[in-house]
Amino acid sequence: MTTTEAGTGVETGRPQGLSLLALNNAFSSGLGEMIEQAQASVVQVRRGDRGAGTGVIWQTNGGIITNHHVIAHTGSKTLVELRDGRVLEAQIVDSDPTLDLALLKVPSDHLTAIPVADSTKLRVGELVFAIGHPWGQRGVVTAGIVSALSKVKLRNSNRQLEYIKSDVRLAPGNSGGPLINEQGHVIGINAMIMGGDLSVAIPSTVVSTWIAQLPQARITLGVQIQPTELPSDIRQELANEQTLGLLVVGIIEGGRAEHANLLVGDVLIDIENTALSDAATLREVLAQSSSKETVHLRVLRGGKVQEIEVTLHTREQAA
């Protein structure tokens, strides 16, 4: 039996309770699916035959991020066990003990890279999840909220380290694993426990920026560019305040731009919906997109705006 609240026409009672239950069930089911998808990108990093920590597939071509302290002073081979059970020997591409980051490379392609979120948009109070292998237990998930966003200045340096603090539960073996948001996108790399209870993660934007600065891992389009003014009719079409684009004045042979059929004379307007008016913005977006297989450019060619897809990581084809 149901009742109607006077003057509102809104039914109250059991049907509303059932609707709330259905909503909770849908939320729980969606959360479980999101976690399952994220776990496909989480690996175990081993020092020799024993578990040492966690890693996350950052690039489809075998690039894996973990903590520096996970792979430091190994004295033996660094091995990575994928979700499907394969165990691969990893090459240490580079590491930074100050940031506590390391980039590994395994000899495999078309891996499932985790989507990367912009950690600068993170707010205190947001729900987050940690995935890792505490005490050797595979794929353990814990949940919490963002407690604080902090910056720590290094001694004798102007350099600052950024951290995300949360109350997700971490233990030995979680190091190097992802801190993800409600969409299943990584917003940090779990690193340590601070003050006995708060967990600390390195923001995803710090990771992307660090990767972009590595000569071995830097992603470029393979173009020579210079700023140029956009025609007035194109400005009106874009319906924003963008006045400049990037004129392509040279194409590097064999680069991504050549493979995407970019041409000298094209004007780059935006990349992944981010307006392009200087080379620094282009480099920054490419760094943040390092885990993606492709990015989308809008270019001005022959007086018309076109969309061009650029491949960042090529999948190997079987012979």
Catalytic residue numbers read 69, 100, 175
Helix axes 279-288 and 204-212, enclosed angle (nearest 10): 120
**Residue 109: both structure tokens together:** 């392609």
Give the whole-angstrom CA distance, residue 203 versus residue 161: 10
Give the whole-angstrom CA distance, residue 85 versus residue 273: 37
Give the whole-angstrom CA distance, residue 220 versus residue 252: 10
Give the whole-angstrom CA distance, residue 138 versus residue 86: 14
Contact 217, 211 (CB under 8 A): yes
